[in-house]
Amino acid sequence: MLISNYQSRIERTLLKTKLILQFLREESWSDVVVLKMITGLSSSGIYKTINQMQSQGLIEIYKIFELQSRVIGITQLGILASFDDENDFIPFKHFEISKFKTLLASHHLGLQRARLNAMNANWTNWKLGKHLQINWGNKPDAMVINTSGEKIAVELERTIKTRKRYEKIFSIYLQACSRNDLDFIDYVCLDNVFAHRLEKLFNSIRQIPVAGKRVTISQKHRDRIRIYCINNWPN
């Protein structure tokens, strides 16, 4: 029984390690809160796990004073270890603290929360915008496929852009919808107040620029563009 329990603990640790590495190879870095959500580990469990991973050279842990938090970044060795023997290696960039941008950290972590929500809803094929091979003129923060097989562009919105900028973005996305490259555009906000304000702005948009002309959009176009609070996305 003792051997069985020991083997079970080893297998569980390896599984949690692989989950973290597979997540970080695409995201580059995360924090303890998100990694706890991914693994289901307790606070003591996640710290024990990441400290062990750091000692193995799979990750690096940095204390970011401005965030009052730790950043966990994947190393090149960690990227290699994230692939099973039967899987082909796909190159990803390892985390470099010199390129870390504190101002973008909240957006990065918010998008990771959205990704976990999508995973929990059985949505698949999540890809960050930087990994998308598209040439639309604007890349979404991420793309994902829902349980109906529909292609969803995800925008994590934390600040308000100008109305003119939204008109241009809507034009790009709605044209992608007309080409069947996209089905819906989901704007995900971190709180309900911001989501409500964004909805009011979106509802005021009546026309978008297309090929140098102003084109009026109808309700069927508006239905493609949806706004959510992150706590209710996807519902």
Q: Give tens-digit pLDDT for 7-21.
A: 777 888 889 999 999
Q: Give tens-digit pLDDT for 95-141.
A: 999 999 999 999 999 999 999 999 999 999 999 999 999 999 999 99
Delineate the domains of the chain, giving CATH numbers in brackets. 2-100 (1.10.10.10), 108-232 (3.40.1560)
Is pLDDT of 26 > 50? yes
Q: Give tens-digit pLDDT for 165-192.
A: 999 999 999 999 999 999 999 999 999 9
Q: Give tens-digit pLDDT for 78-100.
A: 999 999 877 778 889 999 999 99
pTM value > 0.75: yes
Sheet holding 69-74, edge to edge: 29-30, 69-74, 59-64
Three-state SS sequence of 1-59? CHHHHHHHHHHHHHHHHHHHHHHHHHHCEECHHHHHHHHCCCHHHHHHHHHHHHHCCCE
Predicted confidence at residue 2, as pLDDT, reads 47
Instruction: Count the residues in the chain.
Output: 235
Reported as half-sphere exposure (CB side, CA atoms, 13 A), residue 9 has a value of 8
Predicted confidence at residue 69, as pLDDT, reads 87
Is pLDDT of 49 > 50? yes
Predicted confidence at residue 1, as pLDDT, reads 45
Is pLDDT of 3 > 70? no
Predicted confidence at residue 65, as pLDDT, reads 86
Mean pLDDT, all residues of the chain: 93
Is pLDDT of 235 > 80? no
Predicted confidence at residue 133, as pLDDT, reads 92
Predicted confidence at residue 4, as pLDDT, reads 60
